[in-house]
Chain A
Amino acid sequence: MSDKKSITGELYRGIITENPTFGLCLGMCPSLATTTSVKNAVGMGLSTTAVLIASNITISVLVHLMKQFSNDELFQRIQKIRIPLFIVVIASFVTVIDFVLKGYFPALSKELGLFIPLIVVNCIILGRAEVYASKNNVFYSFIDGLGMGLGFTGSLALLGAIREILGSGQILGLSLFGPAFKPAIIFVLAPGAFLTIGFVMGFFRYISSIRSKKI
């Protein structure tokens, strides 16, 4: 079944057609909470990508090993407790990432705060483990993790850019409009996050409705 897949096709699917934030509406909490600036958004996106790739690979390997070394009946039983198993694997990787960020990027870790441990309950990761990694081979699970992770990072960076430009008049810390510009601070606060994601999501839906009409 994995013969028909191509690497670019899988990546394209993760980044564009099944984009986790705008397409599947998964992982909403971090995409709103950590997008006050591009830097935070990319930091969060890459941390999630790292956990996603690691957990996809591990779960794919685990499922294959279990299939190989257990008979059918035992495998059926393991299937029943697969969700707790997946969560433990994910939680271990999140703990690792938490320490890496605390050790090497203390400022970023402080900004993201609560949302690093909350990668555990990000539905993208458990969702991909359940839907993809437990059914496909190790290499494609890696590619799927990479594609989905990049898609997530991209959407976060887009939201972060919009909110940073409108909310503080800067991009990546560089001032864009000069000192006379009065930024709309509301965009870096909570309401701005909801407003931005609502309109961006509406915009993407509009584009895809036009495209489907043409075809």
Chain B
Amino acid sequence: MAELGSILKIFIAVVIVNNFVLFRFLGLCPYIGVSRNSEAAIGMGMAVIFVMAMTSAVTWMIYNYLLVPFHIEYLNIIAFILAIAALVQLVEMIMQKTSPALYESLGIYLPLITTNCAVLGVAILNKDTLFGHSLSFIKCLVQGTGAGLGFALALFLMATIRERLELADIPESLKGIPIAFITAALLALAFLGFSGML
């Protein structure tokens, strides 16, 4: 029961309180780049949730069954980034074969995910905070999925706000990216209110 509680705590922390985008500043490039309309935001969000969950599982296995037995833990950065690149490629190929409709909608976002720092970020965060704990595999999986969900949530909120901002009267030099950052500041301020939850 205590384990279940700690898993739930990890999940809430990573989705809302320590949101990857608005609290940890991870994955900002796609956050600003893909948040112009809400449909694209949903597509990107789905792809990121999927890849982050897979990455958490795969990097856990690589670290514990490959790097630790050979005592080459210091190679973790290289191993993780290669694993992510290969994983994204694999997901892309499987998706193309099995569900062309999903591939059509996610297609362009998948290659971008390799260089999304939130994905490598979740792998390294898992390694730093969770490896060595009891049930660490399940906790990593929960943290990975939660991080993806948090990213998708923040991205979707931002996209819906930016759709409305298109119509607003903003100073010329703040249009586009600067106003997106200022909006993100207000969103981050709102999310800061959750920090008392845990």
Which A positions have Cβ atoms within 8 angstroms of B? 25-26, 28-29, 32-33, 84, 87-88, 91-92, 94-95, 98-99, 113-114, 117-118, 120-123, 126, 186, 189-195, 197-199, 201-203, 205-206, 209
Contacts and interface: CB of A to CB of B under 8 A. Distances in A.
A118 B120 contact: yes
Given A121-B115, A191-B188, A88 B171 contact: no
Contacts, number: 114
A193 B185 CA distance: 7
Interface in B161-180: 171-174, 177-180
Interface in B139-198: 171-174, 177-182, 184-186, 188-189, 191-192
B89 to A, nearest CB: 9
**Looking at chain A's contact residues, is the secondary structure mostly helix, strand, loop, or mixed?**
helix
Given A114-B124, A126-B115, A198 B185 contact: yes
A172 B27 CA distance: 29
Given A87-B85, A121-B115, A202 B174 contact: yes
B12 interface: no
B128 interface: yes
A198 B182 contact: yes
A195 B26 contact: no
Contact of B28 (A28, A206, A209): A28
Contacts of B1: none
A158 to B, nearest CB: 15
Contacts of A199: 178, 182
